[in-house]
A and B are shown apart, each in its own frame.
Chain A
Amino acid sequence: MNATQMASPAQAQPVLLDVADLRVHFPVSQGIVFRRRTGTVKAVDGISFSIRRGETLGLVGESGCGKTTTGRCILRLTPSSAGSIRFEGRELGALSHRALIAVRRKIQVIFQDPYSSLNPRMTIGQIVGEGPAVHRLTRNARQTEARVRELLGLTGLADDVYGRYPHELSGGQRQRVGIARALSMNPMFIVCDEAVSALDVSIQAQIINLLETLQREFGLTYLFISHDLAVVRHISDRVAVMYLGKIMELAGSGELYDHPRHPYTQALLSVVPIPDPDVESRREPLLLQGEVPSPLNPPGGCVFHPRCPLATDICRRVVPVFRDIAAGHQVACHHV
């Protein structure tokens, strides 16, 4: 079975989340008595993508590229400066407080660090049961407990975890608790923000498999944010590559990894070592010069131009348009 066949059921599905020209700008100020605005960090600077029901969209990029901010914006944890986020066709920014609470139940998150995202003073039963009780998905304590125990089973945790505290669990178990908590709200959409990055590889594979199983079982839609390109390729139907607040390239996972068109994507993929010495001895990484510029003072024109091996004069002057180059394959580059 190839990748396109696998992706086709999701393609027939309606769009669940649609992000258009999203911008998140943070003001930077100086001075203690007389605060003045000295600049703007453009953490996310005009990105557009959509996710269909049942699909996994991978969002990759290096630190500071804006991938986490994008996820937080969809969760309404960070306000957007401009642009639109539509969930099930409704603009999230235009919802009343009451309507937003109802939508929030459907949009859940799994964080990277299961150490800091679980309250150390609450038992696992309390952590997983809090959401359903608050949102009245369960009617009484007995129902809540039954629901929590069901969720623990679904996420592969032993039943005796119910009365334990987070510090008594291993990293992998804690991440399962984080997943159980997200599932407890019967969500449609889950933002997985570096959800497996803190785990050892043998445990990471357990959690990835669990996420895939749950997706099939409950028809979940994922935004999978990660810096790990191999994991993203494995889990995603489509992948967006971000750099300095912009999407550089977006395509089906097979297409993006087999035929990357943007010079940044090409460089990024070439530097990820493959765990096979024979393969590695035949590969030559394309080393990018320099480092990611400060988002406080991003380069003009194409933000990638100072590090780009193909950069010419137009790249320094004109911001490339994020455009279709083939069905379902978009690139922002003057030279593609």
Chain B
Amino acid sequence: MGSLLEVRNLKTRFYTQGREIHAVDGVSFDIQVGETLAIVGESGCGKSVTALSLLSLIPWPPGRIIDGEVWFLGENILDFDAERMRRIRGKEISMIFQEPMTSLNPILSIGRQLTETVMAHSDGGQRAAHARAVEMLAKVGIPEPARRMTQYPHQFSGGMRQRVMIAMALICSPKLILADEPTTALDVTIQAQILALMKALSVETGVSVVLITHNLGIVARYADRVNVMYAGRIVEQGVARAIYAHPRHPYTSGLIASVPRMNEPRGRQRLVPIEGQPPDLGALGAGCRFYPRCKYRREPCRTNDPPLREVEPGHWSACLLTDLEFDPAAGS
């Protein structure tokens, strides 16, 4: 396995009302061939902006990628012009959004939207594109695919629309799918169907998946590796099991402690919230971004902004504290 995509020092800012919002502020990670990488974090941490930045989908105004590189198949795709970027989107890298109703065109039939995608990226004719679209609808579990091709998005349920989005994302056999909260709008039984489908298809086709979510349970079930984001930065990075078993950043451990778990003995144990709220990304101080909310903070944390460092092979954390100073069991 090798790296499919490498992100280096990505910085995306938004300029609104005379303020400069550091939405993504120096993010680096890579995606291996065939893996599912989760980006987890709370609202406003920059996880969606990271995904949009990879495909140069940041609207200007108000947003702009001001620095960084995204290496894909040996080329920095952030240097691409609009035309070359269009050839990547949907063909090599595709995206699944949270709300399929807003990402499907309401006045075009599902079949038209699927065949359009195929024909934009291949030389085959209408007939081949139609056959491919029917095949994909069947593959994502839509009954009577040929008949459904003629229908419009409003004739599909939420779960079925998300299946259509997955079909559209996979129809050109991409190497990477960016799935931004793909099941957040769905009920849990449908969520389970959709995620199981995505997992099966990724195993079958070998496509890499970036799974962006706020749900720690979904990450635990589906991700191989995890990036934990906070206030525009990756604060912890590593294999999912290692991160859950032994989080090395106080934010990650706080996040895990704040969710109720169905497998724990139910003795009305108190949840341990992270006090306070995330910082204003337009007025960041010099020190660690998590400093105001951190239970383990020390004086140096107030002024030193810690970079990611490798705390054990393949496990990175952006915290000044050593493992001995930071012990979740002792802190709570």
Report A-chain residues with C-beta under 8 Å of the C-beta of B196.
Answer: 285, 287
Query: Told that A1-B267, A212-B268, A212-B270 touch, could you supply 10 new A-B pairs with CB distance under 8 A?
Result: A201-B42, A201-B214, A204-B258, A209-B271, A233-B260, A234-B271, A271-B189, A271-B191, A279-B220, A279-B263
A3 touching B267 in the complex, CB below 8 Å, given contacts A62-B188, A230-B262, A280-B220: yes
- Once the chains are docked, how many angstroms separate the CA of A272 from the CA of B261? 10
Check B259–A275 contact: CB distance below 8 A: yes
Check B277–A203 contact: CB distance below 8 A: yes
Report A-chain residues with C-beta under 8 Å of the C-beta of B160.
Answer: 291
Considering only residues 118-135 of chain A, those with a C-beta below 8 Å from chain B are none
- Once the chains are docked, how many angstroms separate the CA of A201 from the CA of B41? 9
Report A-chain residues with C-beta under 8 Å of the C-beta of B216.
Answer: 201, 275
Smallest beta-carbon distance B87→chain A, Å:
36
Report A-chain residues with C-beta under 8 Å of the C-beta of B284.
Answer: none
Check B159–A291 contact: CB distance below 8 A: yes
Check B220–A273 contact: CB distance below 8 A: yes
Closest residue of A by beta carbon distance from B254: A202
User: A280: which of B42, B214, B221 is its contact (CB, 8 Å)?
Assistant: B221
Check B241–A274 contact: CB distance below 8 A: no
Check A272–B217 contact: CB distance below 8 A: yes
A-B contacts, 30 listed (Cβ < 8 Å): A1-B268, A63-B187, A201-B214, A201-B216, A201-B259, A202-B42, A205-B259, A229-B262, A234-B260, A253-B266, A257-B262, A267-B189, A272-B217, A273-B215, A273-B217, A274-B217, A274-B262, A274-B263, A275-B220, A275-B256, A276-B220, A276-B261, A277-B221, A277-B245, A278-B241, A278-B244, A279-B220, A288-B192, A288-B193, A291-B159
Check B245–A234 contact: CB distance below 8 A: no
- Once the chains are docked, how many angstroms separate the CA of A167 from the CA of B270? 30
| Residue B218 is within 8 A (CB to CB) of chain A in the complex | yes
Smallest beta-carbon distance B156→chain A, Å:
11
Report A-chain residues with C-beta under 8 Å of the C-beta of B275.
Answer: 206
Check B192–A271 contact: CB distance below 8 A: yes
Considering only residues 125-152 of chain B, those with a C-beta below 8 Å from chain A are none
Smallest beta-carbon distance B17→chain A, Å:
14
Check B220–A200 contact: CB distance below 8 A: no
User: B221: which of A233, A254, A273 is its contact (CB, 8 Å)?
Assistant: A273
Smallest beta-carbon distance A6→chain B, Å:
5
User: A285: which of B159, B192, B258, B274 is its contact (CB, 8 Å)?
Assistant: B192
Check A206–B267 contact: CB distance below 8 A: no
Closest residue of B by beta carbon distance from A271: B192
Report B-chain residues with C-beta under 8 Å of the C-beta of A171.
Answer: 43
Check A291–B190 contact: CB distance below 8 A: yes
Check B240–A227 contact: CB distance below 8 A: no
Report A-chain residues with C-beta under 8 Å of the C-beta of B43.
Answer: 171, 200
A274 touching B261 in the complex, CB below 8 Å, given contacts A1-B267, A6-B267, A170-B277: yes
| Residue A82 is within 8 A (CB to CB) of chain B in the complex | no
Interface residues of A (CB under 8 A from B): 1-3, 6, 62-63, 170-172, 200-206, 208-209, 212, 227, 229-231, 233-234, 253-254, 257, 267-269, 271-280, 285, 287-288, 291-292
Check B220–A277 contact: CB distance below 8 A: yes
| Residue B62 is within 8 A (CB to CB) of chain A in the complex | no
Check A201–B189 contact: CB distance below 8 A: no
- Once the chains are docked, how many angstroms separate the CA of A84 from the CA of B47? 48
- Once the chains are docked, how many angstroms separate the CA of A1 from the CA of B265? 10
Check B241–A202 contact: CB distance below 8 A: no
Check A288–B189 contact: CB distance below 8 A: yes
Smallest beta-carbon distance B290→chain A, Å:
11
- Once the chains are docked, how many angstroms separate the CA of A273 from the CA of B277? 26
Check B271–A205 contact: CB distance below 8 A: yes
- Once the chains are docked, how many angstroms separate the CA of A34 from the CA of B126? 45
Check A271–B188 contact: CB distance below 8 A: yes
Closest residue of A by beta carbon distance from B43: A200
| Residue B319 is within 8 A (CB to CB) of chain A in the complex | no
Check B260–A62 contact: CB distance below 8 A: no
Most A-side CB within 10 Å, residue of B157, B220, B241:
B220
Closest residue of B by beta carbon distance from A285: B192
User: A62: which of B187, B215, B273 is its contact (CB, 8 Å)?
Assistant: B187
Check A3–B159 contact: CB distance below 8 A: no
Report A-chain residues with C-beta under 8 Å of the C-beta of B261.
Answer: 230, 274-276
Closest residue of B by beta carbon distance from A289: B193
Closest residue of A by beta carbon distance from B268: A6
| Residue B255 is within 8 A (CB to CB) of chain A in the complex | yes
| Residue B272 is within 8 A (CB to CB) of chain A in the complex | yes
- Once the chains are docked, how many angstroms separate the CA of A292 from the CA of B267? 33
Report A-chain residues with C-beta under 8 Å of the C-beta of B274.
Answer: 202, 205
Closest residue of B by beta carbon distance from A294: B157
Report B-chain residues with C-beta under 8 Å of the C-beta of A268.
Answer: 188-189
Report A-chain residues with C-beta under 8 Å of the C-beta of B176.
Answer: none
- Once the chains are docked, how many angstroms separate the CA of A3 from the CA of B265? 9
Smallest beta-carbon distance A22→chain B, Å:
23
Smallest beta-carbon distance B287→chain A, Å:
19
- Once the chains are docked, how many angstroms separate the CA of A286 from the CA of B272? 31
- Once the chains are docked, how many angstroms separate the CA of A285 from the CA of B262? 14
Check B188–A227 contact: CB distance below 8 A: yes
Report B-chain residues with C-beta under 8 Å of the C-beta of A208.
Answer: 260, 271
Report A-chain residues with C-beta under 8 Å of the C-beta of B193.
Answer: 287-288
| Residue B219 is within 8 A (CB to CB) of chain A in the complex | yes
A2 touching B260 in the complex, CB below 8 Å, given contacts A62-B187, A268-B189: no
Check B192–A209 contact: CB distance below 8 A: no
